[in-house]
Amino acid sequence: MAEAVTFYIFAALILGFAVMVITAKSTVHSVLYLVADFLCVAGLYVFLQAQFLAVIQVMVYAGGIVVLYLFVVMLVNLKKPPELYSDPRRLGKLGLAMALGVTAELGAIATYGWIKPAVTGAGLSPKNVEQLGRALYSDYVVPFEVASVLLLVAMVGAIVLAKREL
């Protein structure tokens, strides 16, 4: 009974902070509500005994991503009127088509996951960090390296784009 109450408290806090992120008038306040939301998600992970995910949630999202959001909020001049943001070259129909395609793809993934449940790898328990590390660096080393190369390419691309404007 106490577990259910704790879960519902965390769920209510997460939903409440998510609504506050969207409805906040100030963008800085919105980012701070986002930090609180990420911390509540980390608390929910701790409650579910997934401590590794909780630490990653705090370090990556509540730490790194939110700092990135704050830099963007502070660097972008939000005092401009909305007309200055419009771009006549914007391809709205293409963007809508791509959004519908991604939504259809997510629906197909969810349907496939519902029909055929995921197979867990060789007794891997998400609660044990040592097993997670062994599986990541033995069975899943190629996808891990591919993801690291993609992140490196994205970082170099961001630096090139930022350098072009400076």
Query: How far is the C-alpha of 61 from the C-alpha of 66, rounded, in Å?
Result: 6
Report whether 5 contacts 20 (CB < 8 A). Answer: no
Please tell me the predicted confidence (pLDDT) of residue 141: 84
Which phi and psi (to 5°) does residue 164 adopt? -65, -35
Scanning 24-140, the segments in alpha helix (DSSP H) are 27-47, 51-56, 66-75, 92-115, 129-138
pTM above 0.75, yes or no: no
3-state secondary structure of 48: coil
Contacts of 139 (CB under 8 A, 6+ apart): 121, 122
Largest CA distance in the chain: 58
Q: What is the mean pLDDT of each run of 10 residues along the chain (166 residues)?
A: 88 94 87 90 87 84 79 67 63 82 80 64 58 81 84 82 66
- Domain map (residue ranges) of the chain: 1-79, 123-166
Please tell me the predicted confidence (pLDDT) of residue 164: 63
- State which amino acid sits at residue 88: P
Give, to the nearest 10 degrees, the angle between helix 129-138 and helix 141-165.
80
Please tell me the predicted confidence (pLDDT) of residue 104: 84
3-state secondary structure of 80: coil
Please tell me the predicted confidence (pLDDT) of residue 124: 47
CATH of domain 1-79: 1.20.120.1200
* DSSP code of residue 62: I
